[in-house]
Chains A and B, each alone.
Chain A
Amino acid sequence: MHIVVCIKQVPDSAQIRVHPVTNTIMRQGVPAIVNPYDLFALEEALRLKDQYGGRVTVLTMGPPMAEAALRKAISYGADDAVLVTDRVFAGSDTLATSYALASAISQINKDLPVDLVFTGKQTIDGDTAQVGPGVAKRLDMQLLTYVSKVRELDVEKKEIIVERRSEGGVQVLKTSIPSLITVLEGNNEMRFATMTNMFRASRYPVKIWNKETAGIEDVTKTGLKGSPTVVSKVFAPTPRAVKAEIIQCESDDPKELSVTLLAKMFTKYPKLEKEIAKRAA
């Protein structure tokens, strides 16, 4: 069995700050991490490997430094890693990205047929959740999104049964492989890497593919040229014109502050008072 897991290296968005003067994003010093949602996908793939045997290949499209993310994946137990990197990919939106990844997966498939492609639910920097579906479409694979559990997998019969999160419940779906699965977060926990795998990750020769080796047939479908969407403006959210009215009292007594707050608020918003009063205590 061969599973390809698509991952992405992203800036740790929790640590991103906006430059107070130029209003641009301060990327400097913000650590790059593996997209946290991808780890759930990787762990799921590794569990299937534990159960059924086979190989797990991790794939990413990104700048040269994305290699570190692939090494991280190897340290957890992935067998192979491919970095698809080329200047022509710069400025890719999700459509162009899915094209590049799909081409790479087709190449990987030539060496060892791919049974499943796993991706995370979405990235924390783009959070569009579009690349997974895009890749599935291009590879003509069945798409199963928000999968919380793989119930059954029959590699010979080429069948898979999964639980998929849907509004108000769980859909149990059966489909054939190869298919692409986007894995829901929270249903597993990434294993602690063994020392052997840490060493392996340190020494592993990541396969670096450019547009030729990745099998890109039509360069105009990649990068800026292949991106229907363009970012026309980036800006900081406009600060609200009026800041909060801070309730202050002589005494600083919480009781007094509360009473003052309610008095002011309900005077200004009488409808609100009625709304709240309507509700059962």
Chain B
Amino acid sequence: MAEKFDVIVVGAGPSGNAAALRLAESGLSVLQIERGESPGSKNVQGAILYSDALEKLIPDFRDDAPLERHIIEQRMWVLDDDSYIGSHYRSNAFNQAPYNRYTMIRSQFDKWFSERVQRAGALLICETTVSHLLLDGKRVIGVMTDRQGGEIYADAVILADGVNSLLAKKAGFHPELNPKDVALAVKEIHFMPQELIEQRFNVTGDEGVVIEMVGKITKGMMGTGFLYTNRESITIGVGCMLSDFKSQQITPYALLDQMKAHPSIKPLIEGGEMKEYTAHLIPEGGYNAVPDLYGDGWMIVGDAGMFVNAVHREGSNLAMTTGMYAADTLIELRAEGKAFSADNLKRYKTRLDESFVMKDLKKYKNMPDVFHTNPQFFNDYPEMLSKAARTMLTVDGVDKKSKEREIGRSFRQRRSLFGLVGDTFKLWRAFE
């Protein structure tokens, strides 16, 4: 006798956990299937936790969630080969509880989140892969797993199986991932004594710092680097569009090694000991890459739905939020006695459109294209800005007005007036 549940959630990452938690709390029977050995074992993230999204699911998460440091300072750097221009923002407001952002270690966080999900009554089975969806015509009626006797039925299946979602592809809901819609990011965690972190980054106790970087570290490819402080370690990483890696023939690890050797970055990681390195794909195609998100008996949440705001590096909060919306949609429908049909599940998309999730994605929908086809933002501008700063900051007897004129001239020379205006327009378009 095959088992049947109200809902099957495929995946035990943040979006799957959010959905399963909500569903279980409302009394629906939920089965969560995870292909990794344990929740989180297949997941990789920077990682930053955005409190807002988690608070809506687990208001008291701060009591026992494994959190590293709360972020009080954000640094944004534009790097040249041997210099950077940056802006730092540190505020005491960020140091008032309840804190808004934390660094976290995903393996521990996912484990904690999953425990909550199971406590709420969801059944979790790991080390099991869902090989395909069971269909009745176009309606999804369950899943087939890779184990003997592996058919399981449900009224709805939520696909929370991540950026590489094969299920959606197999069922035809999702086209093949395009390398220009996906970034490959690599990161390393370096063990570093607490006191050293505190001294070096000017923090005390549980305070933390986040550094986001762009510029020549990505060798003209569209991408960003980052450095986060954890309690006893730092995370350093870089990611670029997969299509760029392919065309430039640079390996991500080579890129990270060069970044680590940058004269402004090297001293920050000195004295650390490499603990682990990982790589993962990040769906960064944005608004234009979002697939169909629902149908008869199915919904897509999290990375599988391309819900990542690459500009602001938000992914895990979108994952949790979309998981929550999907669950709430099902709960509502069940309470109203309605079926999980495509017509009825439309309200999931509506909810998304009306929320910051789609609004933010829409805002930045031109971003990937603009930056992808304009490498000057990653090469020329960092160099020009660096030169400009060096010129202004070097005291050498030349008067300031001449210096400014010189900077203006070098900008125009590099990009031409036409190019400069064009670049400004493009930036405006990307961010509008």
Contact = CB atoms under 8 A, between A and B. Distances in A.
A–B touch (CB < 8 A): the answer is yes
Interface of A: 17, 19-21, 28-29, 31, 192-196, 198-199, 202-203
8 contacts: A21-B193, A194-B147, A195-B128, A198-B128, A199-B123, A199-B125, A202-B124, A202-B125
Contacts of A203: 123
B404 interface: no
B74 interface: no
A195 B147 contact: yes
Closest 8 CB pairs of A and B: A195-B147, A194-B148, A195-B149, A195-B150, A20-B273, A198-B125, A196-B149, A194-B149
A192 B147 contact: yes
Given A192-B147, A192-B148, A202-B123, A29 B128 contact: no
Contact of B3 (A21, A31, A199): A199
Most chain A beta-carbon contacts within 10 A, residue among B145, B147, B191: B147
Contacts, number: 37
Interface of B: 3, 37-38, 41, 105, 107-108, 123-125, 128, 145, 147-152, 191, 193, 273, 275
Tell me if A's interface is mostly helix, strand, loop or mixed. Answer: loop
Nearest to B124: A202
A25 to B, nearest CB: 14
A123 to B, nearest CB: 20
A31 B124 contact: no
Nearest to B194: A21
A195 B145 contact: yes
Nearest to B123: A202
Nearest to B3: A199
Contacts of B125: 198-199, 202
A194 B125 CA distance: 12
B271 to A, nearest CB: 10
B275 A195 contact: no
B149 A31 contact: no
B147 A29 contact: no
B47 to A, nearest CB: 14
Contacts of B105: 29
A31 B110 CA distance: 14
Contacts of B107: 29
Contact of B147 (A17, A31, A193, A202): A193
A29 to B, nearest CB: 6
A29 B40 CA distance: 11
Given A199-B125, A202-B124, A31 B148 contact: no
A194 B2 CA distance: 12
A31 B37 contact: yes
A208 B116 CA distance: 22
B292 to A, nearest CB: 29
Contact of A17 (B3, B148, B150, B275): B275
